[in-house]
Every structure is written in structure tokens, then in C-alpha cells.
Chain A
Amino acid sequence: MKGRLDPQLVFLVLTNVGILAAGAWASGGVFIDPYNLQSMASQVPELGLLAIGVMLAMISGNGGIDLSGIALANLAGVTAALLVGGMISADDAPLLFSVAFGITAVAVGLAGGAVNGLLIAGSGLTPILCTLGTQLLFTGLAVVLSNGRAVSTGSPAPLEELGNGTFLQVPTSFLLFIAVAALIGMGLRFTPSGIRLLLMGTNPVAARFAGFAQGRMLVATYAISGALAGLAGVIIAARNVNVKWDYGGSYLLIAILIAVMAGVKPEGGHGRMICLLLSATALQLLSSFLNFLDVSNFFRDLAWGLLLLFFLAIIRYDALGALTSRIGWRARPEGAPAAGDAATKG
């Protein structure tokens, strides 16, 4: 396993390089000038964070998925803007406002995610139905709190820096995204909790008999997913100066597409952070490339749909390939070693 390159990773790297090259050629270089690279990089984090949330939920297995991400991100942004904006003036105390805003938004996200986890683990609700329900709940709450209007956060210096600033030519929000992704990726790969999560996703029955605290792990997983949504809410606020309940309605499916393109198995137990990052950037590159070419946005929806089906097929194909080349390795009763394998890949 160690000696063999992951085809998903190779494919994603080639896709990224290919689109960059095609874009550079077609636009006479404008596509890869620093401004566009920065512009594309700063568009990635909001969607990327939501996709990590979806990935974590998928890894937990048992049909795990988080549909409430963008709704929770909007709720977190709206709540934090109203709450913090009501107590602290963004003009008088920009640093205090920004920090309080960030903490509140992430806390709301964490709480919302924990609600998801408690419902799924506690009452055994199917994740897809549960998070569909909480998605509507979160959206509704955001509408009620804000009366359906956009809430302004203003642009206090630290938030402005997060939204528009760069560090060594790299957008700050992108750096934050990479840092968070690295942290979670290492957690998945090196910590006992991370490895247990992969194992639980691979075979929930075995995990139960092995004495895993499944309930607590589910709650923690969905809570982290929620906190990531809250962080996405902070980035949205930092970039747009305003937060609104209906922002990013199309993000839900795109976040799932990023996760599936990254080779995260919908049946659980497998997902690599490096693939997720490359998948998020590939989708952003392709999206910007189509905008550079003035291609109709209806074509984009079609392309997304095709990509989703295509990658689902690849996952299926690879699973089959692995089965035929190494007979017996992935047979269900021995799910645990296969997952341990996945875990070492991180």
C-alpha cells in the first residue's frame, strides 16, 4: 500500500495543474497572474470549510452527512453580528469586536453541530433527515432573528484583514483555512480519536462490540462540523461586510461534491484531507475558468452534476479494482484492518 500512489491524489493533482495550464493559455496569462490566484484562493475557504464538515460526517459512517452547513454558517454570522454588534461598537473597539464576533460565531456553530450530533446519536435519526430538519430550523432562526434582512458587520480592521488581507502574498482567509484543515487532518491521522472515527465509519458493528463510545464520537464529530460552519460564517462576514440568512443556497450541493470528488466514501471510514484540499481548489479553478471563458452558468450546473456522477463512478471502480487485485483484503469481516490501512494514509 505504501509504495503505491493513491490514484485519487494523482488525478486531483493533474486536474489542478491541467486547469491552471489551460486557463493560463486561454487567457494569455491573466488566469495565473497574482491577483487572480489570490482572488481564487480567497473564494475557496467558505466552501472548503463546509466541505470538511461534510467529510467528517461522511467518515463517521452509517449514512453520515451534514446538510445543515451553510444554514448554520448563516445563522452563526447573523447571531454573532446581532449579539456582538448590539454590545460592542465595531468603530470604537475594532479588535474586541472582531474577536468577540469570531468566538460567538464559532460557538453558535459548535452548539448547532452538537444539536445535530445529539439528535443523530441520541434518538438514532438518519443523518440525512436529521440535518435536513436542522437546516430548515437554522435558516428559520436566522430569518426570525434578522427579520429577513441583511445584517451589517461593518469592516473593523481585524475582520477586514481576514477578508481582504494577505500574508506573504497569500490571502489571510486561505491561510486560516489551510491551518484548520491541517489541524483536523493531523487529528484524523495521528490521534487515537481520529483513528477510532475512521474505524467506526468502516464498521459500526465491530466498533460497537469493540466498546467504542459511539454516541460521544458522533456528537463530537457533528459539533466539529458545526464549528467549521461557524468559522465559514466568520469568513463570509469578513469578506462581504454583511451576513444574510439566504446566502449560499447553492453551497450545500457543492460542498458534498467537493467531498465526493476528494474520494471520501459516502459509506464511511475513508477520507484524506490532502485530497479534500485539492478537490476544493480544483472546483474553484474550474469555476473561475468557466467564468473567464464566459461560459453560461447553466453549463456549470451541468458540469457539476456530471463531475459528481463521474467521481462516484471512480470510487465504485476503484473499490472493484482493489477487490480483484487483492482478493479478500476488503471483505467485510476483516473491515478493521482495511480501515487501519486507510487511517495510516490519513
Chain B
Amino acid sequence: MKKFLLAASVAGVALAGAAVELSAQTKPTIATVVKISGIPWFSRMEVGVKAFGSANPDVQASQSGPATADAAQQLKIIEDLTARRVNALAVVPMDPSVVEGALKRAMDRGIIVVTHEADNQRNTNADVEAFDNAAYGAALNERLAKCMGGQGKWTSFVGSLGSRTHIQWVDAGAANAKKYSGMTLVDEKNESFDDANKTYEKAKEILRKHPDIRGFQGSAGNDVLGIGRAIEEAGLQDKVCLVGTGLPNPSAQYLESGAIDAIGFWDPRDAGMAMNSVAKILLEKKPLADGMDLGVKGYEKVTVKKGPGQGQLIIGNAMVIADKATYKDHLF
């Protein structure tokens, strides 16, 4: 028993020692809470949060997130940060509806709340979105049309039919394709469930069913990987065009081989910086105005409108469409 107590108190003192700086803070703190720590997307966001912190020495910026993909764990982090009285929270909710209660409690305590990827969040001062979904879908399709020369059959993939943003993207894509009389949409909105293997099988089926297909537009992050593999195996890199949401590192191999013609995404580093920038503006009690510059690439002239709750919806123009020549600028 004595040994246990000794060990426990030693551990306690060590932990507490690590935290002495905590009580010494006087600068306003902005705490970023992400869906899950340790995955490439949010590690990239942390790069942005840290960059913001060193560019703005008058605030303390940090990022945390649960180790498991569980909304309940993210909730607990938000509750504890609220109790710790950080000055602002920048949250990328695992599930916007589940954190409504916690964010309301934070706002009631006078904490500034900024969210991202949650344009339906009611309890937030401002939600930052990287781009307008319709504009993104149209831009992806425009790139596809350019590759196809405005001619031939094409199809689209979505993560699932319940995924709101994906449907917005492909619908905007379909509307854009109407500009080209030679482009025909066939078997649209195939469900990929963001699973590269399932997408691969589905893409092979489509290639068999429509031997003359000339284009694919993907939505979920793994769509381009599955479709790219099917195109590469069929040796159709030069004949079939593939454009979709994807990340530079995983897609690099297919971009090099030509199976993927272009990938679209937004850089979580910039999104993290933009969220923190908005939080700082709100902490300084400055207004958010339509067309203002957040000082972050892609967010130089943001659209500001009323959100679904009391807060505002801030939309940037931070989409990145990268191809073989340019993807190396955004390796993550």
C-alpha cells in the first residue's frame, strides 16, 4: 500500500510540475478542438494552428482532440476547456448536433465559439467554411470537362446518398456539365461509402457496362483512389478522365501515372489558421464584415452571412484544384 501511494504521489507531482506554466498564463487562449487527433488531416491542421500561434504572439493557440473517433470524448474535452475558461474555442465537431449543448454552455460562460465543417451549427458565434459547396462541385466538373474536351459519357460518385455536401457537389457538377452539349451523365451518384476497395469494384463494373465512358467525378476522399486503381488496371489512363476530392499524399501515385487527372481539396492548415483568425477578431470585439480579409490564403475576401443560429456563416474561397504539376505544393 505504501509503495502504491508513493508511486501515485510521485506521478502526481510530475504531472503537476508539467503544468505550472498553466497558471502563469495571462494571454488570451484560443483552444482548437478537432474531431480526432493523430490522423494526417488534423495533424496538418495543427501545423496551421501552431503557425497562427507564432505569428500572433499576443494569443496562446493550441490544438487538442480525442484519440478515438467518439463524439462523447470530444464533448468531454470541450467541457473541460470551458471549465478551464479558455477565451475562445475553435471546434471541428465530430457531429454538430451532439455538441450543441456543450457549445451553448461555453457561450453562456462568455467563451467565443468558432466552428468549421458545421454550417448547420446553431450554437456558434461564427462557422468558417472553406468554400461554397456548389462552386466547388462546379469547379471540379469544369476541370473534368476540360480534360474530356467537353465530349463523352461521364458518371459521379458520392460517399453516401445521405452525405449532404457530396450531393451538393455532384448536383452542381451535373448542372455545370449541361453547358457542354456533348457530355452525357450516366448512372450518376454511385455510393462509395468512402471505401477505396468498394469504389474500385464499382468503377470496374461501370467500365464494363459503359466501355465508352470518358469521365469520373468523385466526392469522398477515397473515391479517386478506387476509381484510379480501376482505370490504371484497365490501362485507360490516357483515355478516361478522373477528377475528385482527394488528398495529395495518398493520390500522388495515381497523379503521376495519369490515372487521376486532378484532385480537389481544401487545406486543413489554412482552415485552422482561418478559424483562429476569426476567433481573434471576435476576441478583440471587432465586427465580421462581408468581403473582409482574414489574412489567410484562400480567405482574403470572405462571404459573411447569417448562420442557422445566432452566429454568422463565413465562406472562404479556399478550394485547391491540383494536378500532376501542382500537387507537390500541398504535400500532406
- Do A and B associate with each other? yes
Do the beta carbons of A292 and B100 come within 8 Å of each other? no
Whether, in the assembled complex, B67 has its beta carbon less than 8 Å from a beta carbon of chain A, the answer is yes
Q: By the criterion CB–CB under 8 Å, are B37 and A249 in contact? A: no
| A contact residues around B37 at 8 Å (CB) | 296-298
Complex Cα distance, B66 from A297, in Å, reads: 6
Q: Are B102 and A15 in contact (CB under 8 A)?
A: no
User: For residue A123, which residues in chain B have a CB less than 8 angstroms away from its CB?
Assistant: none
Known: A35-B109, A296-B37. A14 touches B102 (CB 8 A): no
Tell me if A272 is interfacial: C-beta within 8 Å of chain B. Answer: no
With contact pairs A163-B101, A240-B100, A297-B64 given, residues A247 and B72 touching in the complex (Cβ less than 8 Å) = yes
Take A30-B85, A39-B79 as given contacts and tell me if A293 and B22 are in contact as well, using a CB distance cutoff of 8 Å.
yes
User: Does B234 interact with chain A (Cβ within 8 Å)?
Assistant: no
State in angstroms the CA–CA spacing of A292 and B83 once bound together: 9
Stretch at the interface among B8-16, B212-220, B255-263, B273-281: B8-16
Q: Is A214 among interface residues, defined by CB-CB distance under 8 A?
A: no
The digit string for A145-186, where 1 denotes a CB below 8 A from any CB of B, is: 001111010000000000110000000000000000000000
Whole-angstrom CA separation of A40 from B1 in the bound complex: 28
CA distance A65 to B98 in the complex (A): 28
**With A148-B162, A293-B18 as given contacts, are A26 and B23 in contact (CB-CB < 8 Å)?**
yes
Q: Is the C-beta of B71 less than 8 angstroms from some C-beta in chain A?
A: yes
Given known A-B contacts A242-B97, A300-B67, A22 and B73 have beta carbons under 8 A apart: no
A294–B62 touching, CB < 8 Å: yes
| B77 on the A face (CB < 8 A) | yes
Shortest distance between the CB of B18 and any CB in chain A (Å): 6
Q: A36-B83, A164-B105, A240-B100 are in contact. Are A250 and B72 (CB under 8 A)?
A: yes
Which of the four size classes fits the interface of chain B?
Answer: 35 or more
Residues of A within 8 A of B8 (CB): 14-15, 18
Instruction: Please pick, from A22, A26, A43, A150, the residue contacting B76 in the complex, using a CB distance under 8 A.
Output: A43
A240 & B75 in contact (Cβ 8 Å cutoff): yes
B70-A250 in contact (CB<8A):
yes
CB distance from A4 to the nearest CB of B (A): 12
Cβ of A289 within 8 Å of any chain B Cβ, yes or no, is yes
Asked whether B272 is an interface residue with its Cβ less than 8 Å from the other chain, the reply is: no
| Secondary structure class of chain B's binding surface, majority of residues | helix
Whether B65 lies near A242 (C-beta < 8 A) is no
Separation of A25 and B12 alpha carbons in the complex (Å)? 11
Residue from the list B13, B65, B68 in contact with A22, Cβ < 8 A: B13
B95: interface (CB < 8 Å) = yes
CA A23 to CA B229, docked complex, whole Å: 53
Residues of the A chain whose Cβ atoms lie less than 8 Å from the Cβ of B80: 39, 287-288, 291-292
Option from A30, A147, A246 in Cβ contact (under 8 Å) with B162:
A147
Measured in the bound complex, the distance between the Cα atoms of B79 and A36 in whole Å is 9
A289 to B4 alpha-carbon distance, docked (Å): 20
A329 adjacent to chain B (CB < 8 Å): no
* A301 in the interface (beta carbon within 8 A): yes
Beta-carbon contacts under 8 Å, B99-114 to A: 99-102, 104-105, 109
Interface residue? B20 (CB, 8 A): yes
Contact digits for A1-24, partner B, Cβ 8 Å, 1 yes 0 no: 000000100110011001100110
Is B308 in contact with chain A by the CB < 8 A criterion? no
Q: Does A212 contact B (CB under 8 A)?
A: no
Query: How far does the alpha carbon of A273 sit from the alpha carbon of B239 in the complex, in Å?
Result: 70
B84 engages A30 (CB within 8 Å): yes
Chain B residues closer than 8 Å to A290, beta-carbon distance: 15
Secondary structure dominating the interface of A: helix
Cβ A28 vs Cβ B23 within 8 A:
yes
In the complex, what residues of B have CB within 8 A of residue A242's CB? Answer: 97-98, 100-101
Is there a chain A Cβ closer than 8 Å to B19's Cβ?
yes
Tell me whether A189 is interfacial, beta carbon within 8 Å: no
**B15: chain A residues within 8 A (beta carbon):** 22, 26, 289-290, 293, 295
Which of A14, A19, A39, A300 contacts B82, CB < 8 Å? A39
Docked Cα-Cα span, A241 to B98, in Å, equals: 7
Q: How far is the CB of A32 from chain B (nearest CB, A)?
A: 11
- With a CB–CB cut-off of 8 A, which chain A residues contact B38? 298
Interface membership of A270, Cβ < 8 A: no
- Select which of A7, A27, A43, A300 is within 8 A of B22 by beta carbon: A27
| Interface residue? B5 (CB, 8 A) | yes
Minimum Cβ distance to chain B for residue A338 (Å): 22
Residues facing A in B1-47 (CB within 8 A) are 1, 4-5, 8-9, 12-13, 15-16, 18-20, 22-23, 37-38
Taking a contact as CB atoms under 8 Å apart, the answer to whether B18 and A249 are in contact is: no
Q: Which residue of A lies closest to B36 (CB)?
A: A297
Interface string of B171-194 (1 = CB under 8 A from A): 000000000000000000000000
Bound complex: CA of A39 vs CA of B95, how far in Å?
Answer: 21
Complex Cα gap A166–B132 (Å) = 42
B81 interface residue per 8 A CB criterion? yes
Evaluate contact between B95 and A150: CB separation under 8 angstroms.
yes
Q: Which of A10, A18, A36, A251 contacts B84 (CB 8 A)?
A: A36
Residues of A within 8 A of B12 (CB): 18-19, 22
* B155 smallest CB distance to A (angstroms): 25
Q: Does A265 contact B (CB under 8 A)?
A: no
Assembled-state Cα–Cα distance A25/B67 (Å): 27
Give residues in A with beta carbon < 8 Å to B: 7, 10-11, 14-15, 18-19, 22-23, 25-28, 30, 35-36, 39-40, 43, 147-150, 152, 163-164, 239-242, 244, 246-251, 287-298, 300-301, 314
* Given A10-B1, A26-B16: 4 more A-B contacts, CB < 8 Å: A18-B8, A36-B84, A43-B76, A298-B37
Pairs A–B under 8 Å by Cβ, sample size 26: A11-B4, A18-B9, A26-B20, A26-B22, A27-B19, A27-B23, A28-B22, A43-B79, A150-B97, A239-B101, A240-B101, A240-B102, A241-B101, A242-B97, A244-B98, A247-B71, A248-B72, A249-B70, A251-B72, A287-B76, A293-B15, A293-B19, A295-B15, A296-B37, A296-B64, A300-B67
